[in-house]
Structures are given as C-alpha cells and as structure tokens.
C-alpha cells in the first residue's frame, strides 16, 4: 500500500486540538486538513487548510479529492453522517478511514451491554460504523480502515466526573477502597497512535487496535486534583456492591 501523506480530519469542534496534535506529533510528516460544517467556526488552526461542507456529495467529493486518509472525531450520534463520508471516501479513492472509536473498546461490548446498558446504547452506533467499514472494505479491497480503541479519555473524565472526580464541581465519588487501579488515555497519546497507524498502513490495515496511557487510582486523582486546584473536594464514599 502506498504511503499516507494527505490526511483529512473530520468532526473537530472549536477548542479541540486533534488536527494540531496529528500534524505536530514527532515524525508526523503529514499534510493535515480539516473538514468543517458550513457556517461553523474553528479557531486555533492557522496553518491547517479548512474545507467547508454541508455533507452533500459534491462538497464531500471536493474535500476527499487527493486525500490518502480520513480521521473521524465525530460524535457517536453522527452515524449517518459518518456513513456518508465513508461512501465519499471510497468513491474518491481515499485509502484509509479511521473512525471516531476513541474512548472505550467497542470491538466487543458484551460486558458493557451486560453491566452498563445505558452506556451500551450510547456506544452502539460506534459498533455499527465498525461493521459498516468491515463490509465496505470487503467489497472494495483498495479501501482499508483502522479503529483505535482506548481507555476512557483522561481529560474528559475529569470534566464529566465519569470516573468519580469532577474538577469543575470540586466533587469526588470514591468507590470501595479508592486504591483500585484503572487505565486511562490522553488525547495526545491517541494522536500519536493515529500517526503511527498512518505511517504503517500495511501493518495496520483492517485492524482494531488498543492504546492506553497510564494506570492510576481514584485516590491519586483526588489527591492531585486538590493539590493542583488548591481546594478541598466534597467526597462521597460508596460501596460498589450496594
């Protein structure tokens, strides 16, 4: 498979930094551009070309022309839009598609479906996109995909309180002993993984890969958050079995 140079990043909102991370990662050597909805505003990308789109076939064809790969960062709810982009990619000769599968391993969601049914319903569209990519790749051998699954995104968990500690609210829900270890992933780490995947297209074609950044505990996160903010958090302690 020829090398990948031109990369189109799709679905970036203002304040996100996926394109910058991808284009400035060490040894990236990628020509990164951005696909944006008509009328939307994206700041902070002065050296990155922006294609405006209304997701029509014509506007997607213009953006896909000359691209070697597409990296999607779209919401899980944008399933129909992603399928449009995948179809446009195939028609216009894009070699590789990376779906927005970051955050959790959605290649096998049996345990999530059993233990966290609400989260499963939210993530289900991501699995539908994976199935769609597998189908399209089997029909068009020149088209390939790579999905990158990860642990929960570190920055997002601190903002949302998903894993207990909410920095904006200065609260922390501690489950059990607070010293149980869990893994998490940072956006810069995922960006480096994306670059690595694109630099080795033959080895990574049509594969689901996993990347994690580090292990930590609720106690370590709470201690660090209080130290960095200089404030004590309101702590609630619960038992996982209750």
Q: pLDDT tens across 115-132, in order?
A: 667 766 777 778 889 999
Highest mean pLDDT among 9-23, 46-60, 95-109: 46-60
Which residues have C-beta within 8 Å of that of residue 227, sequence separation ≥ 6? Answer: none
Q: Among residues 142, 23, 136, which one has the least CA distance to residue 87?
A: 136
Domains of the chain: 6-150+187-213 (3.40.50.720)
Residue 14, pLDDT score? 47
pLDDT band at 69 (very low <50, low <70, confident <90, very high): very high
Sign of CA dihedral 134, 210, 48, 73: positive
Residue 138, pLDDT score? 97
Question: Checking phi first, is residue 49 left (phi over 0); if not, alpha (psi -120 to 50) or beta?
Answer: beta
pLDDT band at 42 (very low <50, low <70, confident <90, very high): low
11 or 43, greater pLDDT: 11
pTM: 0.83
21-25, 68-72, 133-137, 175-179: the lowest-pLDDT one: 21-25
3-state secondary structure of 69: strand
Which residues have C-beta within 8 Å of that of residue 103, sequence separation ≥ 6? Answer: 150, 152, 153, 156, 185
Give per-residue pLDDT as tens, 226-235.
999 999 999 9
In whole numbers, what is the pLDDT of the chain averaged over residues? 85
Residue 72, pLDDT score? 92
Walk across the sheet containing 234-238 and list its strands. Answer: 165-166, 171-175, 234-238
Give per-residue pLDDT as tens, 81-115.
899 999 999 999 999 999 987 766 666 666 666 66
HSE-CB at 63 with a 13 A cutoff on CA atoms is: 32
């Amino acid at each position: 498979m020829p090398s990948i140079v031109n990369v189109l990043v799709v679905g970036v909102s203002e304040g996100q930094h996926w394109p910058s991370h991808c284009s400035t990662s060490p040894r990236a050597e990628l020509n990164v551009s951005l696909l944006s909805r008509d009328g939307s505003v994206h700041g902070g990308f002065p050296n990155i070309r922006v294609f405006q789109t209304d997701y029509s076939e014509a506007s997607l064809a213009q953006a896909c022309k000359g691209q070697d790969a597409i990296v999607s960062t779209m919401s899980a709810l944008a399933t129909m839009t992603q399928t449009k982009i995948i179809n446009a990619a195939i028609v216009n000769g894009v070699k590789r598609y990376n779906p927005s599968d970051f955050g959790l391993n959605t290649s096998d969601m049996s345990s999530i479906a059993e233990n966290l049914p609400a989260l499963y319903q939210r993530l289900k569209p991501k699995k539908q996109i994976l199935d769609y990519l597998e189908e399209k790749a089997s029909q068009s051998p020149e088209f390939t995909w790579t999905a990158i699954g990860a642990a929960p995104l570190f920055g997002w968990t601190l903002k949302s309180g998903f894993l207990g500690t909410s920095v904006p609210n200065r609260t922390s829900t501690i489950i059990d002993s607070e010293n149980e270890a869990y893994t998490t992933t940072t956006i810069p780490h995922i960006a480096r993984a994306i670059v690595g995947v694109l630099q080795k297209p033959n080895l990574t074609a049509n594969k689901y890969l996993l990347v994690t950044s580090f292990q930590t505990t609720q106690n370590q996160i709470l201690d660090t958050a209080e130290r960095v903010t200089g404030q004590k958090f309101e702590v609630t302690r619960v038992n996982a079995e209750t």
